[in-house]
Structure 1
């Protein structure tokens, strides 16, 4: 397999644009230099040769791969994680770059997908195998891994109909790339069928479910939530969380919640925006609505008259969910949307509401929706109404939760299946 000439030519042309994009999103010059070093070489010093290499895009994929990465670190295997986003890398480091895993763990950016860069990276780090998470396919990366005899697996794989159509338009790129994979472990049958239609090898592809179902709330987050409940006198409050939100979801849902917040002083809405660069913007929206708002980033606590708490911090979503009686999962009302992971609130037995644009998690959400294990809404007004009803009506919340937990139990076990396949290459 060699990648088409046009693909490599296109990469050379867009490289300067890519550099300027990195410069734009860097907070300072040191951060820009650091990312350029990791993207274009000469790369970071190697912490551990022969690591198990996981490539994840952003926060969602990092969270999905967490139980798998943790399993191998616990067994004493060195792990290398590469990301393509700043938030993804921050998440990986916050999870693993600490005791007891610090010496075994390294997280760096994935080099730009140019042959010479990828080859140099693989030769430098000499990984045991490369596990690409979900849909993170890069033609030269897969090509060079094959040439350098590094087994390449696509794990927890998912592919929406829309993405499959995109790959289908460039068969000269997609087919050889998929045939370069040693194993393809799909979340569901629809994904498997789409990949095989695009050229994946049926004999090296199978459905093993989603690792995402093997998810457990970190004990420390649950304990912290219990402590905050005492410290901030929250026992009498009805708390709803709107999590992983994008513009204009916060403004619309808070507007719809405003009458409820005014009529029910015990009601409180915690807002956890998806992207840190939007924290100030979301605070401004709450101010415009004249809602009494406290901010996590300023170390403020929830007061008896607080209506909105802006959780403008990273890596603390679990504790806010653990405080909640109901949760809305964002990225699902905005256009085009796509949605985020509903399994985090469900793992904490928090009744979950989401918008109708959830194509990134289609199969997972559909399974819950079919048994009324989640509530799918059309707009912000319905979202606000559903959240308030679930917070005020324990019977309704209990019924939703019971249905959701049955689906969770039915789907656990994917983690073990992934481990069995990966272990064959170690």
Structure 2
């Protein structure tokens, strides 16, 4: 498949895209809003000539935030346009940069040549920075036509994704050759990009900027105060964060096991996607758990066994409330989510076995003793129980997580140095 065929198929698939938006809009009305932006129509008024940063959704937006702030500081006269693809990502971007007037935001238009051209004509960036793996052939080609350097920042590429790109080499090799920088997390990923067609001189190993996460010192204090308000300072509390379909049942089964030995245990359950909030809440009730929703402001009482985190932008705070953290998307074969956020907060970290999107981070944490992997509800319950009952074991996992974080910091400075060379 070459870019011409890809573009033709994309146009033919637009009715499917419209149906998908409509279906998702039934449970998440935000998917039906601002549709014009997805075709570069009705874009908000934008300053031209700055830096364009694309972060597909919530996770990438959080990862990109320190880089965006550093770029704003280095280039005080330039605007930064931050795009995403999802309503939850959009809300997170708005919250992250609410106090920064030079950050402007819209959805990234679909990867159609005319939409990409209209978008680039509207903002005329001096540099395009794409976070992690979100590569769109027509957007990149339209940048190349205009002489706009394109950098892939904090880039990661699993073996499975590399095989997928290789199957469409006539499309992906020219796209990668048009890019100016691949700031990758590991040498293994650098080799994959070079093999797929990236020019060797454009590939640099800068590490993962996720390790450069800084925690607001007020966050743990706020969490401690809220637990005291709940009269839960001594209650055993654990969190299952960013769960996906198929995991909530396992987590609730584990919590049921834990309630046998710790009847006052509290689970903070945080589904990854907003459209699942209602169904997961209904599942908790159906399974017989006393559950309250964070968004409603209902206080946690001694009778509450599950708090459902159904708010946006609070995940770090919810991690801070817990004693032990399980990171989801890992009991199902989807590749996992960011393991470093709970580690940075000093939480023992648990995950399922499917962490192929974070292989290097997981390997480092596991090797240091800062990550324990579980396969099912029984193993999850046993891991949480041991961490509650063995304070020395929990402290060892905390210390190991901190050590891994500290050993890997500095990626943000290396990334910024590489981006500056692209101008």
Deviations 1:220-267 (A, max 9, x none): 533431321232122111111110011221221211221322442332
Alignment match, 1:124: 122
Question: 2:134 aligned to 136, 142, 149, which one?
Answer: 136
**Aligned counterparts of 2:146 and 2:183: Cα–Cα separation in 1:** 22
Alignment match, 1:83: 84
- What is the alpha-carbon distance in structure 2 between the residues aligned to residue 33 and residue 310 of structure 1? 26
Work out the CA distance in 2 between the residues paired with 1:220 and 1:379: 35
Match of 2:193 among 192, 195, 201: 195
SS of corresponding position for 1:82: strand
Match of 1:166 in 2: 164
Distance 1:403 1:301 in 2: 34
Partner of 2:253: 255
2:298 aligns to what SS in structure 1? coil
Asked if 1:146 is matched to 2:147, the reply is no
- Alpha carbons of 1:31 and 1:59: their partners in 2 closer, same or farther (altered >3 Å)? closer
Check 1:151–1:326 CA distance in 2 against 1; reply closer, same or farther (3 A cut): same
Q: Is the 8 A contact 2:153 2:183 kept in 1?
A: yes
User: Judging changes above 3 Å, is the alpha-carbon distance between structure 1 residues 333 and 50 closer, same or farther for their aligned structure 2 residues?
Assistant: same
Q: Deviations over 1:76-112 (max 9, x none)?
A: 342111112222222111211x12x0x2112211111
1:381, distance to aligned residue in structure 2 (A): 1.5
Q: CA deviation at 1:209?
A: 0.2
**Over residues 306-359 of structure 1, what are the superposed CA-to-partner deviations in whole Å (9 max), with x where a residue is unaligned?**
21111111111111111111010000002x221100000000010000000111
| CA 73–271 in structure 1, closer or farther in 2 if over 3 Å, else same | same
TM-score by length of 1: 0.94
Which runs of no fewer than 5 residues in structure 2 stay unpaired? Answer: none
Aligned ranges 1:285-296 → 2 under 5 Å:
285-296=283-294
In 2, Cα distance between the equivalents of 1:110 and 1:264?
48
RMSD after superposition: 1.9
User: Are 1:238 and 2:236 matched, yes or no?
Assistant: yes
Query: Is there any run of 5+ residues in structure 1 with no aligned partner, and where?
Result: none
Which of 417, 420, 426 is matched with 2:414 structurally? 417
Distance 2:362 2:256 in 1: 28
**Aligned twin of 2:96:** 95
* Structure 2 equivalent of residue 7 of structure 1: 6
Is the 1:249–1:380 contact (alpha carbons within 8 Å) kept by the matching residues of 2? no
Of the three residues 268, 274, 286, the one matched with 1:276 is 274
Q: Is the 8 A contact 2:289 2:306 kept in 1?
A: yes
Residues 374-389 of structure 1 mapped to structure 2, 5 A cutoff: 374-389=371-386
The size of the alignment, in residue pairs, is: 421
Shift of 1:167: 0.5
